Amino acid sequence: MMTALPTLAVKNAKKPAWVTGHGKLAAVYLAPGMLGFFIFIVVPLVASLVISLFDWPLFGTPKFVGLENYTRMLTGDPVFWTVLGNTLFFAVCYTVLNLVLALAVSTWLHNLGSWGPFFRVLFFVPVVTPMVANALVWRLMLTDDGVVNSFLANFGIHGPSWLSNSQLAMGSLIAMSLWQGIGYNIIVLGAGLNGISPNLLEAARIDGAGAWQRFFRVVLPMLSPSLFFCTVMTIIGSFKVFTQPYLLTLGGPGESTNTIVLYLYRNGFSFDKLGYASALAWALFVIVMLITALQFSQQKRLVNYDN
């Protein structure tokens, strides 16, 4: 009796978890999800990597070209660098403005009292409204004779072509995107603010800290996990910007609002260059992965998880 127990324990320890009683059950429950993950994520991922090595029209015979699509992207296609620059510009401007404004608004709402929830809902409504509908409304507002210019005309101001002027078109897209997306960060940061113990702020006040000091020395460090989450998600989202330029400007005028996902979409589905589009998708993946990895590498230094 005394020797049997250790033998059984050794036997069970050798078996993988998924063949034991509860492990089997877990495997059965996980199987549909894993199957879906494999079919809809892993297979397309590998397929796109393979396709990126081919000159692959949707119809017609694919031709193996090795790394030619990547070489062309990096050295022979000036549009790639333009759309990459546009995407970076959008990502930086959108992320910075989004976080600063969301932080300001959520702080304001946090101190607003009973009207806070009402305005929070108001800011969140655009997030749950379909992007396509929002974009079409903004397009109507920003046309040469749209609502915005009609409003400016009341003050004798001849409004510019918001969507057709190379200098203003990207700014218009950023403004529309902010209106659409800022509510999400307001909710997340608001939840973070609610989680800060009033005792901490009270202690800081007793220690003689002013409003700005309390904000920068207490609120911001305690809010850093929420801010980190918002920053990572907002940057990833901004690199994938597509609907706004597709519906508002079609990437124009010229290439001024063409973004990497719009360019990728066009190459794949309008210009019938699936191989090149796949190479662009992988370039986007690598860029986003590097930026996200950089953010996570700084997480310990910048984010305070100490309660």
Partner 1 sequence: MSNNRVTGRLLTAAAVAALAAGTLSACGSSAGSSSDGGKEASSMYTWISNENDRAQWQAFVDAAKKKDPAFNLTLEGPSFNDYWTKVKTRLSSSGAPCIITTQAARAQELKDLTVPLDDMVKSNNVDVSMYNKAMIDGLTVDGSLRGIPYDAEPVVLYYNKDLLSAAGVKEPTPNYTTAQFTSDLKALTKGGVTGLAVPPGFGAGPGLPLAFANGNEPVKDGKLDLTNQGLVQDQQFAFDLAAKEKVATAPQASDGSDVPEQQFMSGKAAMIIDGPWMYDTLTTKTQGKVGIAVIPSTSGQGIGMIQGSAFAIAASCKDKETAFKNIMKITTPEVVGAVGAARGTVPSVESAIKDWAGNKPATDVAVVEALLKSGRPLVTTPTWNQVETNFTQYSGDGFRGSKSAQEILSTIANSAK
Binding site for partner 1 (CB under 8 A): 21, 24-25, 28-29, 31-32, 57-60, 79, 139, 143-144, 161, 163-166, 247-255, 258, 266, 269-272
Nearer to partner 1, 124 or 242 (CB): 242
Shortest distance (Å) from residue 6 CB to partner 1:
23
Nearer to partner 1, 109 or 170 (CB): 170
Nearer to partner 1, 145 or 306 (CB): 145
Nearer to partner 1, 102 or 169 (CB): 169
List CB contacts of 70: < 8 A, sequence separation 6 or more: 52, 279, 283
Shortest distance (Å) from residue 211 CB to partner 1:
46
List CB contacts of 132: < 8 A, sequence separation 6 or more: 243, 247
Shortest distance (Å) from residue 276 CB to partner 1:
12
Shortest distance (Å) from residue 275 CB to partner 1:
15
Nearer to partner 1, 33 or 66 (CB): 33
Shortest distance (Å) from residue 25 CB to partner 1:
6
